[in-house]
Structure 1
Amino acid sequence: MTLMLVWTFYNAYMPLILGGFVESRAIRGMIMGLDNLLAVLLIPMIGAWSDNVDTKLGKRLPFIAVGMPIAALFFILIPYGASISFWTLITIDIIFLLAMTIFRAPVIALMPDHTPTEKRSSANGVINFMGGIGAIISLFGLSLLYDWDRSYPFLAAGLLLLLTFLLLFFTVDRNPPFGGQIASESEEAKISHSFLSDVQHLIKPQYRGQLFILLAIFVYFIGYTGVEALFTVYAVEYLNMKESAAGLTLGFFSLAFLLFAIPAGLMGNKWGKLPLMSIGLILQPLFFLSIPLLPILMTHFPALNEALLLQIILFIGGITWALVNVQAYPLVADLGGKDKIGFFTGLYYLFSMAAAIVAPSILGLMMDLFTHPALFYSSAISFVIAYYLLKKGSRFLQQEDAASRPPSV
């Protein structure tokens, strides 16, 4: 809940804070993306490292104990850095993101550590439900604090992150039942070498299914993270909304995700992760394509409430996003078996955060070149491409599964 609260507020308002120094949406997007570069390089290795360590605090908690308090402190400092200078803001921002990187994969890997494979979709639905609560608090609550004083929401979110650390420290099972066996060698260099070796396996023919699924996640996260990072810019600069109203409007997307996260997880358990993701990837671009049409609709029907229509579209879009996102991580966690949970957790974040590097700059450039509505057109295209990649990956996995079965007598 707290992680989603922090990331939602950061992604919604950091581009607006950067707007005080940089006018170009492409450059603002590039700054947002470059901040994630080191995180992309480190998260998979840290995920694999946490599979192999053996301490009195267990496998995941040491990383949480280092990263979470530092992240909380530097998140609180972001608005103060912005009041000093651009480079002070960037320095604080990078330290915050690096601290988040340290514990990101280990804290997410706690769920499969404690959950059998057949229950992971519904468990991830619960996780996403709590994340949705965090996003709602962020966009409906912290956005109002932003109007009073820009530092208040950062302070509140940072303190909640510290409280979360204390709760985890005293409640996490040090020896969870589904975490797999601890490897005999745990030196960082060996883990790094193992990770690089395993990544190379993804380009081999027998791993085509896993690779295409990860590529699908990369592509649709370009569409999602680009909209998440630049929606408030679109709303403030193109629709002339107040900053807090833009954040509140985006909150309807998160509200729908919150309400539908657990049902989507249950549906994934019943009908399968891949079919639910495919349906979501088909529907999502339809809703994004309708958003730029609203100003045109208003010219013909001026009595309509544009903000309300936008909120309705985002609410429905949040439901379809739940079909995609709730299934994605359990699907990836299942790809490598329980001894590779941390590694594939790292890969999930490698591909999703690699998208976070390029998405804001690419979609921001589209906005610079083709005006603000290009944000949603570009995002819709990414979901269509992701659907193709997911279907291709699922076919490869079916072929590999058929080839591995013993012949029938």
Structure 2
Amino acid sequence: MELVSLVKTDQFKYSKIFVIGSGFFALTLIWTFYNAYMPLILGDYIESRAIRGAIMGLDNLLAVLLIPIIGAWSDKIDTKLGNRLPFLAVGMPIAAIFFILIPFSADITLLVLLVVDIVFLFAMTIYRAPVIALMPDHTPVEKRSMANGIINFMGGVGAIVALFGLSTLYGIDRSYPFLVAGLLLLLAFFLLYFTVDRKPAYSEKIDTELEESQAYRSFFTSLKLLKQEKYRGHLLVLVAIFLYFIGYTGVEALFTVYAVEYLNMEESTAGLTLGFFSLSFVLFAIPAGLLGSKLGKAPVMLYGLLFLPIIFFIIPLLSYFNGVLPINETLLLQIVLFIGGISWALVNVQAYPLVADLGGKNRIGFFTGLYYLFSMASAIVAPGVLGLLMDLFSHPALFYGASISFIVAYFFLRKGHKIITSNKHIEIPHNDVKNI
């Protein structure tokens, strides 16, 4: 046993983890840019923000429905390329090609654009689960926390590059960032193809590792459990997560629409401006985690949920300060969004650890599934819901609607945490979860 362990440890290399991280870099780069600019491209044909928002929620729906199936399939398949690479070999090149085609298809007809978009979304869905599995496949258990940190760091860099770098290219020519991002995705595929092991030393089933798998299973198992009175506090916390993700996901998907159509901002500047929110989140994620460890997860989340609606409520009012303050409205908006990113870090960094703690050590997997179920459900409906508010009440309703979602989430979280804290001496039987 010791000899086998030694051999496996010798096969582990951090350099390989960085190469695997290139897949996450390209994945996050493309999704971030897609979420920021696809609503603007759809705007060439579709005026309704609700319809554009509904289309933007399609990728999350496909993810929940298909990724668990693909993830399980990649666990079982056995080919000369191993079990993960066949999915990467199909999904990544097709996704890259059809992503490059998006701006060109937009110049033809809406039908062509939608066909290209759907193929792109399917291709991204094909390889997401297998590329996620590459890290645990190549990493021993004791080193996975560090490896996961590297992966997430590269994903964060991808988001920043998308909103700052690709947005600048978008201002030169709309097709340039799609071409660059598509080529980067192809480059990531070739790096992975020639680097990852065909028979990884630490390969194991990934179904329990996937957010979408957790959400999929929880959809069929959670309702029976959560309707019980003893889980009332848990349910309130999960509803709070659903609500505040509506505000966050809706703004993420429709901010550029607000900036371009309401503020008359250049499209490239709109994406870059949104980047200040992501930048501050990345910078303050670790300090927010430390603050949560010191003050408690729920209290820090509540502080964030107090600040966020204030910040989002102020955003539509910034035009009144134009000419009054010595800085222009765009720079003022970027500063406010940067502060908003700090507040979002206070909320989002604590959320999953808080939910994982709800069930105790024996029920982490189940409550992880509930977290992903509620957060991903909001990501499916949020762009359409806030888009409808924009249709009905004009563009500033995006931020007012998001602010309301944060405020209501604050009260649900506070009440839920209070109930859980007051009942913490009551042990929830493990069989309640195990038998469902």
TM-score class, shorter-chain normalisation, is 0.7 to 0.9
Aligned mate of 2:52, from 28, 48, 54: 28
> Cα distance, 1:194 vs. partner?
6.2
> Cα distance, 1:98 vs. partner?
2.5
Alignment of 1:5-404 (within 5 A): 5-43=29-67, 49=72, 53=76, 66-104=90-128, 107=131, 128-168=152-192, 170-171=195-196, 174=200, 176=202, 197-205=220-228, 208=232, 210-298=234-322, 301=324, 303-332=326-355, 348-395=371-418, 397-398=420-421, 402-404=425-427
> Cα distance, 1:18 vs. partner?
0.6
User: Hey, what's the Cα distance between the residues in 2 that align with 1:162 and 1:295?
Assistant: 42
> Quick check: which has more Rg, 1 or 2?
2
Q: Which residue of 1 aligns with 2:8?
A: none
Q: Which residue of 2 aligns with 1:188?
A: none
Query: Which digits, 9 at most, give the CA deviation of each residue in 1:235-289, with x for residues without a partner?
Result: 1111111111111111111111121123333444555443433322222111111
Letter in 1 for 2:346: L
User: Hey, what's the Cα distance between the residues in 1 that align with 2:423 and 2:83?
Assistant: 32
Which fold has the larger relative contact order, with Cα–Cα distance below 8 Å and residues 6 or more apart in sequence?
A: 1
Q: TM-score when scaled to structure 1?
A: 0.80
1:218–1:351 Cα contact (<8 Å) kept = yes
User: Hey, what's the Cα distance between the residues in 2 that align with 1:348 and 1:405?
Assistant: 18
For structure 1, the 5+ residue unaligned runs are 184-190
User: Hey, what's the Cα distance between the residues in 2 that align with 1:232 and 1:207?
Assistant: 39
1:44–1:350 Cα contact (<8 Å) kept = no
| Bigger mean CA deviation after superposition, 166-175 or 227-236 | 166-175
User: Hey, what's the Cα distance between the residues in 2 that align with 1:67 and 1:324?
Assistant: 33
SS of alignment partner, residue 322 of structure 2: helix
Q: Say if 1:152 and 1:393 are closer, same or farther in 2 by CA, change over 3 A.
A: same
Q: Which residue of 2 aligns with 1:186?
A: none
Query: Which digits, 9 at most, give the CA deviation of each residue in 1:207-230, with x for residues without a partner?
Result: 555544443332212111111111
Q: Say if 1:370 and 1:262 are closer, same or farther in 2 by CA, change over 3 A.
A: same
User: Hey, what's the Cα distance between the residues in 1 that align with 2:127 and 2:266?
Assistant: 34
User: Hey, what's the Cα distance between the residues in 1 that align with 2:282 and 2:428?
Assistant: 39
| Bigger mean CA deviation after superposition, 38-47 or 250-259 | 38-47
Query: Which digits, 9 at most, give the CA deviation of each residue in 1:58-100, with x for residues without a partner?
Result: 8877755654443333222212221222111111212222333
User: Hey, what's the Cα distance between the residues in 2 that align with 1:54 and 1:209?
Assistant: 42
Q: Which residue of 1 aligns with 2:17?
A: none
2:68–2:216 Cα contact (<8 Å) kept = no
1:227–1:379 Cα contact (<8 Å) kept = yes
User: Hey, what's the Cα distance between the residues in 2 that align with 1:53 and 1:131?
Assistant: 27
> Cα distance, 1:13 vs. partner?
0.6
For structure 2, the 5+ residue unaligned runs are 1-24, 209-213, 430-436
1:236–1:243 Cα contact (<8 Å) kept = yes
Q: Say if 1:82 and 1:264 are closer, same or farther in 2 by CA, change over 3 A.
A: same
Q: Say if 1:193 and 1:107 are closer, same or farther in 2 by CA, change over 3 A.
A: closer
> Cα distance, 1:291 vs. partner?
0.5
2:308–2:344 Cα contact (<8 Å) kept = yes
Letter in 2 for 1:4: T
User: Hey, what's the Cα distance between the residues in 2 that align with 1:333 and 1:94?
Assistant: 34
Percent of aligned pairs sharing the same letter: 64
Query: Which digits, 9 at most, give the CA deviation of each residue in 1:18-62, with x for residues without a partner?
Result: 111112222222222245433333345556x37975868888777
